[in-house]
């Protein structure tokens, strides 16, 4: 066997040993590094009729639903899964947290009607599969503007909190 062949085989053997040692170390680094996505809440606000709006929300972080431009009582209901226009939603969703049946918006300024404590996404999948539906009923003479923001968004941090209707009635 020639000298070039010995050098080549020695080099290949050295590479194999280095690979066997380096691979577990690289695997530990991958296990220890956390890959995170920026907090997002995709949503669609759909006015169904005067005094009734549905908001479909899919999020990878807790979120808040804001109302602006309306003062008064608003009834809230959360649906984790169902169908809309024949398309299923919520198959990979989870309940994002307890919702008040009735809240009172006391200012026309941005008001947090609902604040989720968890993300809607329970499993990987399409966005519609991770979505939940929030139904909001209010006085038909009102024209509130609804939006959805993650909790780290400045609008969510600065919004006033809506009060539960029971507290106001007492």
Tens digit of pLDDT for each residue in 107-153? 899 999 999 999 999 988 899 999 999 999 999 999 999 999 999 99
Domain of 93 in residue numbering reads as 41-169
- Model-level pTM? 0.76
pLDDT score for 170: 46
Domain of 72, CATH number, reads 2.60.40
Q: Are 77 and 59 found together in one domain?
A: yes
Measured between alpha carbons, how far is 142 from 134 in angstroms, rounded to an integer? 18
pLDDT in tens, the chain (170 residues): 788 888 888 888 878 777 777 766 666 665 565 667 789 999 999 999 999 999 999 999 999 999 999 999 999 999 999 998 889 999 999 999 999 999 999 889 999 999 999 999 998 889 999 999 999 999 999 999 999 999 999 999 999 999 998 754 44
10 and 88 in a single domain? The answer is: no
Total number of domains constituting the chain: 2
For residues 77 and 113, membership in a common domain is answered with yes
Residues 31 and 91 in one domain: no
Neighbours of 139 (CB within 10 A): 14
In this structure, are 59 and 141 located in the same domain?
A: yes
Same domain, yes or no: 82 and 23: no
Tokens representing 95 are 């309940």
Do 28 and 49 fall into the same domain? no
Task: Identify whether residues 66 and 23 lie together within a single domain.
Answer: no
Q: Are 30 and 46 part of one and the same domain?
A: no
CA triplet 70, 72, 74: central angle to 5 degrees? 95
């Amino acid at each position: 066997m020639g000298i070039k062949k010995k050098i080549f085989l020695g080099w290949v053997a050295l590479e194999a040993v280095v690979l066997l040692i380096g691979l577990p170390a690289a695997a530990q680094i991958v296990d220890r590094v956390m890959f995170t996505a920026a907090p997002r809440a995709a949503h669609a606000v759909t006015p169904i009729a005067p005094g009734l709006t549905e908001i479909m929300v899919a999020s990878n972080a807790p979120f808040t639903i804001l109302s602006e431009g309306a003062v008064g009582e608003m009834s809230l209901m959360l649906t984790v899964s169902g169908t809309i226009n024949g398309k299923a939603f919520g198959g990979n969703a989870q309940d994002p947290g307890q919702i008040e049946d009735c809240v009172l918006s006391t200012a026309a300024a941005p008001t947090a009607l609902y604040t989720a404590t968890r993300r809607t996404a329970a499993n990987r999948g399409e966005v519609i599969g991770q979505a939940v539906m929030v139904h909001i009923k209010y006085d038909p003479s009102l024209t509130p503007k609804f939006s959805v923001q993650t909790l780290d968004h400045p609008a969510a941090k600065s919004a006033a909190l809506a009060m539960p209707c029971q507290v106001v009635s007492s």
